Amino acid sequence: MGFAAFAGHKYLCLETFKKSGEGVKTPVWFAADPAASLDSSDAKLYIYTIGASGKVKRMRNNPRVKIAPCDMRGNVLGEWVGAQAEIVSGTEAEHGMRLLNKKYFLQQLLSRRKPCCRRHDFRLIHSALGHV
């Protein structure tokens, strides 16, 4: 089992969990690491977000997340998959950012939301299948 359901999609719905256990769903851009097939258990997906965001805080407290393919409004288009989130840095973060920039280059130009040019503390998050 892997992330095969995400092939061809531009957004995923990321559900992180508060300390109370309540889920918070957010649609985000993502990029898959081509080093592993999406249908393998070694598949990795990368997203980026502002470091002070609620989802980063929730993932620090509980790295267990659920993800599903969705549209830009967060309407879920497939089955939910359990995953483990990890905030990455260094060369792995650079690799993930290159993948995201490659996948969303045109959208970033059109919306002027180029993540590498913003003056925010960004966090790159890697999701891998976990035993959830």
Say yes or no to pLDDT of 111 above 90.
no
User: Rounded to the nearest 5 degrees, what angle is found at the Cα of 35, between the Cα atoms of 43 and 69?
Assistant: 40
Share of the chain above pLDDT 70, in %: 79
Q: What is the pLDDT of residues 35-74, one digit of tens each?
A: 888 887 788 898 888 777 888 899 989 999 999 999 999 9
Q: Which of 27-36, 41-50, 101-110 has the lowest mean pLDDT?
A: 101-110
Which residue, 35, 14, 26, is CA-closest to 98? Answer: 35
DSSP β-bridge partners for residue 24? 16
Q: Which domains does the chain have, with CATH numbers?
A: 4-129 (2.30.110.10)
Residue 117, pLDDT > 80, answer: no
pTM recorded for the entire structure: 0.81
